[in-house]
């Protein structure tokens, strides 16, 4: 064997083997922008348990709730963790809408590092089961007769449930109050307690209450009827020519992390998405499989920002940028 060949082999032997990049060595924080019971909180806790069950990460993972600021508290926290490979977070579309609406917003979704887009989540519009409203038109007609008297529980300003109120209100001329709560559990309690009359809710949050007959579905925020609600109309079927807005579920990590950190977490979620555990979760919660890797997800965030700019303008919302 020539000396050149010997040196070439020696170089190969001394190179790091594939997969010898970053691996977490201490507990990982999974940061969410909602309180306990909110959509991203529920998702994050399932992800943590599924990753543990599938043994995809060698360390413990824990959910860290950072509610407040219409999602910007979580975003600011992630940015403060710049370069930290042991912090990841759920993506929040409110980062996009609030950047467009709020002058004081200094950070944007582009300031964090996209990892993956996991799923697209439809929603349903519900009232308490004993409410007098049998259809969404019943509710909007009642709201027109008593402007500002009916109430909707929801998340932060700029969230999907808030934006749907804007779109439906502009389309019908109806007006009702919007009461913001930090967590999904509080929003549901407000509805079931009779303190508000309507809410937009993700199927995973509402499931047991709908199955138990505590809530009535007026309409689905989906392009086609969800398997779990075959008798409830979509918005268009209910006579509302309004675009459906799915919630985007994805994962990000702080800015300034090394490429091998992004590759590691991207690979973890690629493997998670292939498991029967994850596929069953999508089916049980009636999510659409919208998986995208990091680079594709980054392009989606750019295009989604422009879509939200159009939707907010159409809903009569004043934009600051």
235-278 confidence digits (pLDDT tens)? 999 999 998 888 899 999 999 999 999 999 999 999 999 999 99
The total domain count for the chain is: 2
Domain shared by 199 and 148, yes or no: yes
Dist. CA 235–CA 109, nearest whole Å: 29
Query: What is the arrangement of strands in the sheet containing 215-221, beginning at the earlier edge strand?
Result: 177-180, 151-154, 198-201, 123-128, 215-221
Domain shared by 106 and 40, yes or no: yes
pLDDT digits (tens, 9 = 90+) for 160-205: 889 899 999 999 999 999 999 877 788 999 999 999 999 999 887 7
Domain shared by 170 and 127, yes or no: yes
Domain shared by 128 and 88, yes or no: no
Q: Which two tokens stand for residue 220?
A: 């689905």
pLDDT digits (tens, 9 = 90+) for 39-87: 789 899 999 999 999 999 999 999 999 988 878 899 999 999 999 999 9
CATH number at residue 130: 3.40.190.10
Q: At what angle do helices 39-54 and 203-211 cross, to 10 degrees?
A: 100
Lowest mean pLDDT among 5-14, 88-97, 245-254, 299-308: 5-14
Query: 269-297 as b/e, with b when 16 or more CB fall inside 10 Å?
Result: beebeeeeebeebbeebbbeebbbbbeeb
Dist. CA 55–CA 282, nearest whole Å: 20
Classify residue 293: in a domain, yes or no.
Answer: yes
Q: Which two tokens stand for residue 287?
A: 């999510």
A 10 A CB-CB count for 143 gives: 25
Dist. CA 180–CA 165, nearest whole Å: 12
Domain shared by 69 and 37, yes or no: yes
- Mean pLDDT of the chain, nearest integer: 89
Domain limits for position 281:
28-121+246-314
Classify residue 257: in a domain, yes or no.
Answer: yes
Cβ proximity of 297 and 250 under 8 Å = yes
Phi (first) and psi of residue 138, to 5 degrees: -55, -45
The two most distant CA atoms of the chain are separated, in Å, by 92
Classify residue 281: in a domain, yes or no.
Answer: yes
**Which of 221, 236, 265 finishes a domain?**
221
Classify residue 238: in a domain, yes or no.
Answer: no
Cβ proximity of 258 and 115 under 8 Å = no
pTM above 0.75, yes or no: yes
Phi (first) and psi of residue 181, to 5 degrees: -125, 145
Cβ proximity of 84 and 121 under 8 Å = no
Domain shared by 117 and 185, yes or no: no
Q: Which two tokens stand for residue 7?
A: 């040196």
Q: Which two tokens stand for residue 27?
A: 């507990």
Domain shared by 34 and 111, yes or no: yes
């Amino acid at each position: 064997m020539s000396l050149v060949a010997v040196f070439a082999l020696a170089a190969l032997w001394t190179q790091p083997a594939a997969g010898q990049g970053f691996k977490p060595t201490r507990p990982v924080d999974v940061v969410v922008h909602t309180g306990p019971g909110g959509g991203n909180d529920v998702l994050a806790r399932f992800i943590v348990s599924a990753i543990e069950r599938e043994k995809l990460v060698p360390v413990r993972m824990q959910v860290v709730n950072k509610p407040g600021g219409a999602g910007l508290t979580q975003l600011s926290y992630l940015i403060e963790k710049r370069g930290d490979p042991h912090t990841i977070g759920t993506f929040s579309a409110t980062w996009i809408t609030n950047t467009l609406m709020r002058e004081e917003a200094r950070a944007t979704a582009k300031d964090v590092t996209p990892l993956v887009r996991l799923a697209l989540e439809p929603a349903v519009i519900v009232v308490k089961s004993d409410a007098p409203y049998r259809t969404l038109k019943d509710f909007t007609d009642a709201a027109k007769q008593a402007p500002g008297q009916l109430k909707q529980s929801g998340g932060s300003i700029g969230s999907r449930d808030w934006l749907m109120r804007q779109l439906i209100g502009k389309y019908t001329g109806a007006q009702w109050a919007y009461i913001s709560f930090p967590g999904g559990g509080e929003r549901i309690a407000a509805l079931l307690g009779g303190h508000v009359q309507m809410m937009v809710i993700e199927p995973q949050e509402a499931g047991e209450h709908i199955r138990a007959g505590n809530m009535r579905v007026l309409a689905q925020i989906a392009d086609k009827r969800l398997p779990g609600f075959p008798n409830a109309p979509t918005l268009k079927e209910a006579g509302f020519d309004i675009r459906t807005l799915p919630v985007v579920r994805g994962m990000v990590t702080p800015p300034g992390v090394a490429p091998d950190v992004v590759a590691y977490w991207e690979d973890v979620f690629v493997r998670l998405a292939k498991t029967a555990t994850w596929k069953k979760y999508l089916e049980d919660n009636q999510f659409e499989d919208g998986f995208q890797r990091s680079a594709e997800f980054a392009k989606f965030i750019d295009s989604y920002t422009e879509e939200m700019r159009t939707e907010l303008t159409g809903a009569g919302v004043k934009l600051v940028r």
